[in-house]
Amino acid sequence: MNITHGFKRALQVNADGLATVFGDRRRKWRDLGERAPRLAAGLASLGAGPGERVAILSLNSDRYLETYLAVAWAGAVIVPLNIRWSRQENEDALRDCRAAILIVDKMFSGVGESLAAALPGLRLVYADDDDAPAGAQHYEALLARSAPMPDAMRQREDLAGIFYTGGTTGRSKGVMLSHDNLMANALNALSEGLFPSEAIYLHAAPMFHLANGAAMFALLLSGGANVIIKAFSPEAAMASIEREKVTEVLLVPTMIQMTVDHPALPSHDLSSLTRIVYGASPISEAVLDRAMAALPDTQFCQAYGMTELSPIATILHWKEHIGEGRAKGRHRAGGRATLGCEVRIVDPSDQPVAPGIVGEIVARGDNVMMGYWERPEETARALVGGWMHTGDGGYMDADGFVYVVDRVKDMIISGGENVYSIEVENVVAQHPAVVQCAVVGVPSDEWGEEVHAVVVRRPDAQVNGEEIIAFCKARIANYKCPRSVDIRDVPLPMSGAGKILKRELRKPFWEEKERRVN
Amino acid sequence: MNITHGFKRALQVNADGLATVFGDRRRKWRDLGERAPRLAAGLASLGAGPGERVAILSLNSDRYLETYLAVAWAGAVIVPLNIRWSRQENEDALRDCRAAILIVDKMFSGVGESLAAALPGLRLVYADDDDAPAGAQHYEALLARSAPMPDAMRQREDLAGIFYTGGTTGRSKGVMLSHDNLMANALNALSEGLFPSEAIYLHAAPMFHLANGAAMFALLLSGGANVIIKAFSPEAAMASIEREKVTEVLLVPTMIQMTVDHPALPSHDLSSLTRIVYGASPISEAVLDRAMAALPDTQFCQAYGMTELSPIATILHWKEHIGEGRAKGRHRAGGRATLGCEVRIVDPSDQPVAPGIVGEIVARGDNVMMGYWERPEETARALVGGWMHTGDGGYMDADGFVYVVDRVKDMIISGGENVYSIEVENVVAQHPAVVQCAVVGVPSDEWGEEVHAVVVRRPDAQVNGEEIIAFCKARIANYKCPRSVDIRDVPLPMSGAGKILKRELRKPFWEEKERRVN
């Protein structure tokens, strides 16, 4: 099966059904059936032949979804670029994959022109509602002047996309995902009940990221409807959910927190929203509680994974967030292996460990990436015996629930003890004055690393570091408690995927240490 | 993914959950985790190495399911034999696939001994509760004395099973299905909501047949519970549904009719039954109405397909049986393409036809068979450009619903069993008094269709219908034999190309039925 499979099915079974909504523009599957094969032909005429790379740097839009489809239809390879990246990071990625085409929207028009100037041979396509800048082809003109081409019918083992990852921890790597990888993940999600054909899905998370991509590819298979907003804001999300009677949305926990704490929440009817899938990072118990209270008609479901797994490895269903599941503490788990993905925990010599023992989370299945683009050594290190080594630490209980105790790289080692920041964050977040928090390791002459908390305070609340530390000491082991607390009134720095940029929080401490050492 | 994938997942997430119920014997997944790897090793010790064929001829039982698992675990190939076949038909299949092992239960013990005597090298395994006959290994002893072996971890493109299907040439063909074929079909079914992990499924249809197999493989992936009865009877099915709180069952329409018309129905509590999946033939409106009245808590769902499609091509959901769907006549359709299977209608030159035009139903997807065992020419005829040519005539409406109007190959579906008229014709034609014959399906209130033979007698010979039927019964399975025979003295109506016009022979019977209905 390939990415275009579900599109053709949608044209067969639901041609007059809603495919995309973007602002006031509504398109049926029939419309996309007219447009995508033309756009594919247009892109092919610019160099997007089979296996060639087509990059896109854009806020969310209906054209973004159309581009995913058309690139697959042409047999080319999509390269969605991170909208939070610097111009240089994007240039590195475009050079790395030798992209033939770069598609940009109005927001990235200037960057696109600059990149096209720096990269001879890169064709620039402008995908927005106004006129294209000089030197760029207009998306709509390209589409209008091209005769529809037949589906290139890529095989399932063919490369479908390169998704750059790891920008927050150094030089990024291109994760190569085949049509099969993406469709296996879609079927895994669908077989667990997510993103069915009757879904009306809100693209609120960025479309370049595979957390949202997982939903999008599943919907391209099931034929559900796509409501798209340019970028996440609580106001835009709530307005779209109410207006379009959205049933499902993927959000990262920070977006959930911003929505449920938003003053305009009570004035919106969000009762159509049957499910919020959250991922990219665990949700704190305090935010989950507020979310459940604010959205009584909505079920929550966690997906844990990583781009290299296309991206889902485990799913935590709603029933584990409430009642008996919650009493057993399962709401703190990442979930259980999806139906099509094998997950286990291994020790440093790659042997499976017993239930309850922390080790590295590894996964195997048709959703495991082909490898890193032109990085055979890193591929060989990541994929051992067909198992993707996630780099995340975790344990599995006797019922197969995977608890992600920390990203291995985020684990704090203080005085020889392992401190998992998520555990500390869950405690800090329960403090009534706390809106958002992050816990990181900072250098300590005495302990190697010390636990440090960064806290965003409620606008109307008063709290100081001592109170936060005392709050923690009443609840968790002393060595896990923050030694220092930084109280802030502005949101924490976020990645394009909505993850808190802990690197940014740590940086001043480690730079300070550098200065002292040198 | 392979067949053992879900089994290992069940051991990880639900080891203490119910795996099988057969009579009073209840086994958990943990028990199967102990047993299947031992049985696999035992079978391997008898010759079931990777790729070797292991046949089974048995009524339904928990050991039948265990056998499917253990054969896959050993890396061997399962060959489930048709319990309605004659001894000779089974011998032909065993010879054709060169089976290393034949597993039989008490019912087929005698046939098994006879087959083992005729086929040197075939090892006989006895899978029942009493002692094995001389010359047969006992299943339980084999299991007990074998140390568990590791999963052979077959690749998805490896052959998993050979499923014999009635051949139009009189000899049956072995449909080769890979692990991927069977798992793709399972994911297709699961992604449409069938056979989820919380299902308690009743194996009432025969386990050798892939209609029931579709459910079984899906449950082996999702980890649902398997309630198994030896063979279908309305009484046994109703008793099991009530006792085990069965939630799903696959039945052929004849079984539904027998159940809903059964006098004991009102004395059983069948309210746990949320869904009946029916297949092999459409359901008559009269039976559907009676079933809906008798089982108000149960939804009906049709699956259409064939063994060569592993086996599902289309699914007709409950909503199409009621309300607006029914008003549009969609309850007479076979459904729409599953999420993973592409379906279209083509003309004799293999070009797609417009909606509403009758042509041949063809299907493409990961569920399409590898081919017919050692029959490259028939494989090439069936699989053209990756499309399985079903031999069924049908049309598709503008909403993608497939209506099966005729079996192009003249297959008769009687009580859920496929009868290929050419096979019966070959037998009838062997009778010394027969000049010419044609076998057609005629309407039957009990069986959907009944086998009817039209025979042209030699001018000098005497023969009657009873003699023709007795002649057939001595040579082929009972269900394939004509129920009625029309003896004629004039040639059968022929087309210009010299083909018998079966349509003309059928017409009076179906017109008679029309008159009765209207």
Give per-residue pLDDT as tens, B302-317. 999 999 999 999 999 9
CA distance A187 to chain B (A): 6
> What pLDDT, on a 0 to 100 scale, did the predictor assign at position B502?
81
User: Is residue B405 within 8 angstroms of chain A, CB to CB?
Assistant: no
User: Is residue A187 within 8 angstroms of chain B, CB to CB?
Assistant: yes
- Indicate the pTM of the whole model: 0.83
* pLDDT bucket at A217, cuts 50 / 70 / 90: very high
- B337 and A365 within 8 Å at the Cβ level: the answer is no
Average pLDDT of the residues in B42-56: 98
Of B166 and B318, the one with more pLDDT: B318
CA–CA distance from B224 to each of A341, B67, B247 (Å)?
Answer: 17, 17, 10
> What pLDDT, on a 0 to 100 scale, did the predictor assign at position A167?
46
* pLDDT bucket at B168, cuts 50 / 70 / 90: very low
The rounded mean pLDDT for chain A is 92
Q: Say if residue A30 is exposed, middle or buried (CB neighbours under 10 Å; 0-12, 13-18, 19+).
A: middle
Average pLDDT of the residues in A149-174: 84
- B187 and A221 within 8 Å at the Cβ level: the answer is no
Q: What is the DSSP letter of B150?
A: P
- A339 and B187 within 8 Å at the Cβ level: the answer is yes
Rounded to a whole number, what is the distance in angstroms from the first to the last CA of chain A? 57
Average pLDDT of the residues in B470-485: 93
B-proximal residues of A, 333-392, CB under 8 Å: 336-337, 339-340, 342, 344, 365-366
CB B178 within 8 A of CB B157: yes
> What pLDDT, on a 0 to 100 scale, did the predictor assign at position B307?
94
Beta strands A434-444; A417-419: pairing state: unpaired
Q: Is the pLDDT confidence value at A517 over 80? A: no
> What pLDDT, on a 0 to 100 scale, did the predictor assign at position A253?
83
β partners of residue B28:
B18
Chain B partners within 8 Å of A352 (Cβ): none
Q: Is the pLDDT confidence value at B171 over 70? A: no
Using CA atoms, how far apart are residues A230 and A127, in angstroms rounded to an integer?
13
Rounded to a whole number, what is the distance in angstroms from the first to the last CA of chain B? 51
Q: Which of A92-106, A147-161, B477-491, B504-518 has the lowest mean pLDDT?
A: B504-518
> What pLDDT, on a 0 to 100 scale, did the predictor assign at position A43?
98
Average pLDDT of the residues in B397-408: 84
Buried b (16+ CB within 10 A) or exposed e, A352-370: eeeeeebbbbbbbbbbbbb
β partners of residue B178:
B159
Query: Count of alpha carbons within 13 Å of A164, Cβ hemisphere only?
Result: 28
Tell me the backbone φ, ψ of residue B271, rounded to 5 degrees: -70, -15
**ipTM of predicted assembly, 2 dp:** 0.82
- Measure CB to CB from residue B221 to each of A5, A222, A339 and give the nearest one: A339
Q: Is the pLDDT confidence value at A168 over 50? A: no
Alpha-carbon dihedral angle through residues A259, A264, A266, A268, given to the nearest 10 degrees: -90
CA distance A385 to chain B (A): 12
The residues, any chain, with a CB within 8 Å of residue A469's CB and separated by 6 or more, are: A481, A482, A483, A485
Residue of A nearest to B338 (CA): A9
Residue of B nearest to A183 (CA): B340
Using CA atoms, how far apart are residues A339 and A334, in angstroms rounded to an integer?
15
Record the tokens describing residue A429, joined without a space: 């977040």
Strand order across the A53-57 sheet: A136-138, A123-126, A101-104, A53-57, A77-80, A159-165, A173-178, A371-372
Chain A partners within 8 Å of B191 (Cβ): 187, 190-191, 222
Record the tokens describing residue B509, joined without a space: 């019977």
Beta strands A312-316; A299-305: pairing state: antiparallel
Record the tokens describing residue B333, joined without a space: 């359709």
CB A29 within 8 A of CB A182: no
Buried b (16+ CB within 10 A) or exposed e, A504-515: bbbeebeeeeee
Tell me the backbone φ, ψ of residue B500, rounded to 5 degrees: -65, 135
Residue of B nearest to A399 (CA): B13
Q: Which of A425-429, B51-55, B94-98 has the lowest mean pLDDT?
A: A425-429
Average pLDDT of the residues in B47-63: 98
User: Is residue B482 within 8 angstroms of chain A, CB to CB?
Assistant: no
Average pLDDT of the residues in B266-295: 86
What share of chain A in percent tops pLDDT 90?
A: 74
* Per-range mean pLDDT, top range of A374-383, B144-153, B249-258: B144-153
Strand order across the B53-57 sheet: B136-138, B123-126, B101-104, B53-57, B77-80, B159-165, B173-178, B371-372
Q: Which residue matches tokens 């959703």?
A: A367
Q: Say if residue A114 is exposed, middle or buried (CB neighbours under 10 Å; 0-12, 13-18, 19+).
A: middle
Handedness of CA A260, A266, A268, A273 (dihedral sign): positive
> What pLDDT, on a 0 to 100 scale, did the predictor assign at position A497?
63
Using CA atoms, how far apart are residues A169 and A433, in angstroms rounded to an integer?
31
Q: Is the pLDDT confidence value at B123 over 90? A: yes
Q: B498's torsion region: left (phi>0), alpha (psi -120 to 50) or beta?
A: left
- A156 and B399 within 8 Å at the Cβ level: the answer is no
The residues, any chain, with a CB within 8 Å of residue A78's CB and separated by 6 or more, are: A53, A54, A55, A56, A67, A68, A71, A72, A160, A161, A162
CA B104 to chain centre: 19
> What pLDDT, on a 0 to 100 scale, did the predictor assign at position A34?
98
User: Is residue B119 within 8 angstroms of chain A, CB to CB?
Assistant: no
Q: What is the DSSP letter of A230?
A: S
pLDDT in tens, A269-289: 999 999 999 986 667 788 888
Q: Which of A125-129, A357-361, A392-396, B411-415 has the lowest mean pLDDT?
A: B411-415
* pLDDT bucket at A319, cuts 50 / 70 / 90: very high
Average pLDDT of the residues in A177-198: 96
Q: Where are the alpha helices (DSSP H) in A86-226?
A: 87-97, 109-118, 139-145, 179-191, 210-222
> What pLDDT, on a 0 to 100 scale, did the predictor assign at position A85?
82
B255, amino acid identity: M
Q: Say if residue A454 is exposed, middle or buried (CB neighbours under 10 Å; 0-12, 13-18, 19+).
A: buried
CB A73 within 8 A of CB A36: yes
CB A53 within 8 A of CB A99: yes
Record the tokens describing residue A191, joined without a space: 């077989």
User: Is residue B156 within 8 angstroms of chain A, CB to CB?
Assistant: yes
The residues, any chain, with a CB within 8 Å of residue B213's CB and separated by 6 or more, are: B80, B163, B182, B207, B311
Q: Is the pLDDT confidence value at A496 over 80? A: no
Chain A partners within 8 Å of B184 (Cβ): 1
CA distance A49 to chain B (A): 23
> What pLDDT, on a 0 to 100 scale, did the predictor assign at position A367?
97
The candidate with the shortest Cα–Cα distance to A115, out of A98, A139, A91, is A91
Query: Count of alpha carbons within 13 Å of B288, Cβ hemisphere only?
Result: 19
Using CA atoms, how far apart are residues B244 and B237, in angstroms rounded to an integer?
11
> What pLDDT, on a 0 to 100 scale, did the predictor assign at position B517?
57
- B366 and A400 within 8 Å at the Cβ level: the answer is no
- B9 and A339 within 8 Å at the Cβ level: the answer is yes
> What pLDDT, on a 0 to 100 scale, did the predictor assign at position A500?
81
* pLDDT bucket at A409, cuts 50 / 70 / 90: low
The rounded mean pLDDT for chain B is 91
Average pLDDT of the residues in B332-354: 93
The residues, any chain, with a CB within 8 Å of residue B328's CB and separated by 6 or more, are: none
Going along B50-194, which residue ranges are E strands?
53-57, 77-80, 101-104, 123-126, 136-138, 159-165, 173-178
- A12 and B400 within 8 Å at the Cβ level: the answer is yes
> What pLDDT, on a 0 to 100 scale, did the predictor assign at position A153?
95
